[in-house]
Amino acid sequence: MPPSEPEDLKRLGERIDAAGKKHAGEEPQAQPASAYGIAFRLGTELVSAVFVGAGVGWGIDWAAEHWASLHTRPVGLVVMFLLGAAAGIRNVIRTARQISADMAPKE
Amino acid sequence: MAMNPMEQFEVKPVIFHDPLFSIAGHPIYFTNQALFMIVAVTVATLFLTLTVSKNRLVPSRGQSMAELSYEFVASMINSTMGSDGLKFFPLIFTIFLFVLFNNFLGLIPWTFTATSQIAITFTLASFVIVTMVIVGFMKQGLGFFKLFVPSAPWYLLILLVPIEVISFLTRPVSLSVRLFANMLAGHTLLAVFASFVVLMIGAGGIMYGVALAPFALIVCIYALEMLVAALQAYVFAILTCIYLNEAIHHANH
């Protein structure tokens, strides 16, 4: 190890101490998420679940018509759309719970 | 003068004007998004290798940045997945840096934001979900299906299992839409305000001075976009951690 290293370390330690004193008494700012970020996250969770549900329903109807020649349209779309909306709300509740758990002050 | 705020997202061939090769009759071009993804990967690799090449005990600024990004991802994995999640460190660190550098590169004028294309973000998200499913079946076997079965009486399960399945299928969609929509919205907003400045200066007279208002807003939005770029890379990485955690540990929601 080159002899200059302990000198470097000492100076780094002094600088860290100085920075620590300067900010002594300040609470560390815990901002895990901005309000904009939360709103965007919850919005996409809800909307994408509705779209996925409707898409799956459309696919079920299409498959039933083409492979089994059952005319289920629009039943599959309607049912899966509603299930998708339910899944979206489930996602939003889960995400909101997770965000509030993240933001709760840690012991 | 281009006034269309969506023009910046146009994918077009660069450097080579002929298709490189074709797959099943579809010509494959070398596009601007491919170019900028290569640039992002190169810059990230250079950043990590050059800054730690001296490898000093008391780090320089660059080495501090590399070490900080390493420790940031490592502590993120530790807090969400526990220490046995650290074997996924290379994957998550790569995804984090790839998204981060693409987001930041896109903020430089005349560049292209690869993460503003749903094709790119959806590919990344599908990759994460496929990894999660494979790891889940390897670790838990058929017990992985318990992810779809919440604790409820059997007659409610008839309704709840399809909901959970759709909720699971939503993950790659919401993961990719969030990243791409954030990038798209921010860059469109910047372009719209920039076109205001151009129009007002073009109008001349008193509008010459009024143009300062949207110009000041651009500066503010640009600062916000810096935050969004970092935040979205973080969100993408931490959601990857959360999903992989459900694959290696038993799901408990």
Per-residue pLDDT at B16: 84
Please check whether residue A71 lies inside any domain of the structure: yes
Q: Which residues of A touch B177 (CB under 8 A)?
A: 44, 47-48
In angstroms, the CA B225 to CA B83 distance is 33
**Above 50 in pLDDT, residue B253?**
no
* A23 within some domain: no
What's the rounded Cα separation, in Å, for the pair B144 and B137?
6
Closest by Cα among A60, A23, A8 to B165? A60
User: Length of chain A in residues, anyone?
Assistant: 107
Token digits for B21?
Answer: 């090769």
pLDDT over threshold 80, residue A71? yes
Residues 203 through 242 of chain B touching chain A, CB cutoff 8 Å: 227, 231, 235, 242
Q: What is the pLDDT of residue B95?
A: 94
Domain map of chain B by residue range?
A: 28-248
DSSP string, chain B: ----TTGGG---B-S--S-SEEETTEEE--BHHHHHHHHHHHHHHHHHHHHTSS--SS--HHHHHHHHHHHHHHHHHHHHH-GGGGGGHHHHHHHHHHHHHHHHHHTSTT---GGGSHHHHHHHHHHHHHHHHHHHHHHHGGGGGGGG--SS-HHHHHHHHHHHHHHHHHHHHHHHHHHHHHHHHHHHHHHHHHHHHHHHHHH-TTHHHHTHHHHHHHHHHHHHHHHHHHHHHHHHHHHHHHHHHHHHS----
Spatial distance between the Cα atoms of B153 and B46, rounded to a whole number of angstroms: 56
In a domain? residue A86: yes
* Structural domain for A43, as ranges: 34-107
Residue A28 located in a structural domain? no
The minimal CB distance from A37 to the residues B58, B173, B231 is found for: B231
From A5-19, A61-75, B66-80, the region with the lowest mean pLDDT? A5-19
Residue A22: inside a domain: no
Residue B32 pLDDT greater than 80, yes or no:
yes
Residue B225: pLDDT over 50 = yes
Please report, rounded to a whole number, the percentage of residues in chain B having pLDDT higher than 70: 97
Whole-number Å distance between alpha carbons of B112 and B129: 26
Per residue in B186-206, pLDDT (tens digit) is 999 999 999 988 888 888 888
In a domain, A9, yes or no: no
Distance, in Å, from the CA atom of A39 to the CA atom of A31, rounded to the nearest integer, reads 15
> A11-20, B2-11, B134-143, B181-190: which has the minimum mean pLDDT?
B2-11
List chain B residues with CB under 8 Å of A94. Answer: 253
Out of B57, B167, B178, the one facing A40 most closely (by C-beta) is: B178
pLDDT for position A4: 56
The pLDDT value given to residue B133: 92
> What value does the mean pLDDT take over residues B129-140?
91
ipTM over 0.85: no
pTM for the model stands at 0.85
Q: Within an 8 Å CB–CB cutoff, is residue A78 touching chain B?
A: no
Query: Is residue B59 scored above 80 in pLDDT?
Result: no
**Number of compact structural domains in chain A:** 1
